[in-house]
């Protein structure tokens, strides 16, 4: 194992965060991407730019692509108080519908296109399918309750827990 000496940066990181592309998802507003002015310049974008969103598949799985289009459905807006811009993506099929904290993401900015690589925790996780267990046939000569098979096993017994009658208790 080797050691590498580093010089820590002392002071606030507010200026650093303004230079990074960030992604977040909130339950109320959906997904959003924050873009700094330096990336805007690399893409050739300006405030009010119309963009289209594409989701990557196959070799581009886990990536978002924002491309400048005259008839784009998304609008790039300037944030108040700093030199960053935001694109509200809303609720997008294929992206998670749960909260994702603001996270700095890898990006590739070229002329008119911004490709964002989402981290693993920010991707939609498919619901695991429970495998069907093996079916067991009743032993030969035993009786089978046909009504339980058709209607179901009937109501489950209730649990009667004592209640105080006071709200919250």
Q: How many residues are there in the chain?
A: 169
pLDDT of res. 151: 62
| pLDDT of 153 | 60
Residue 8: predicted pLDDT: 63
CA angle, residues 17, 102, 78, in degrees to nearest 5: 60
- pLDDT value at residue 148: 64
Q: Where are the domains of the chain?
A: 17-122
Q: Quote the pLDDT of residue 132.
A: 62
**pLDDT at residue 155, as a whole number:** 60
The segments of the chain whose pLDDT lies below 70 read: 1-3, 5-19, 124-136, 138, 144-169
Query: How far apart (Å, rounded) are the C-alpha atoms in residues 106 and 116?
Result: 6
The token duo for 127 is 């619901």
Closest among 101, 100, 105, 109 to 118, alpha carbons compared = 105
User: What is the maximum span of the chain, computed from C-alpha positions, in angstroms?
Assistant: 81
115 neighbors 20 (Cβ within 8 angstroms): no
């Amino acid at each position: 194992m080797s050691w590498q000496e580093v010089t820590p940066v002392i002071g606030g990181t507010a200026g650093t965060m303004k230079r990074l592309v960030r992604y977040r998802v909130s339950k109320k507003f959906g997904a959003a991407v924050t873009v700094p002015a330096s990336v805007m310049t690399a893409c050739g974008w300006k405030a009010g730019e119309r963009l289209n969103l594409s989701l990557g598949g196959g070799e581009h799985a886990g990536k978002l692509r924002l491309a400048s289009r005259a008839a784009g459905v998304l609008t790039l807006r300037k944030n108040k108080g700093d030199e960053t811009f935001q694109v509200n993506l809303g609720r997008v099929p294929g992206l998670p519908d749960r909260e994702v904290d603001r996270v700095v993401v890898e990006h590739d900015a070229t002329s008119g296109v911004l490709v964002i690589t989402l981290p693993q925790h920010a991707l939609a996780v498919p619901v695991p399918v429970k495998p069907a267990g093996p079916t067991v046939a009743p032993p030969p000569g035993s009786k089978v309750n046909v009504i339980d098979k058709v209607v179901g096993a009937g109501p489950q017994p209730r649990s009667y827990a004592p209640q105080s009658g006071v709200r919250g208790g």
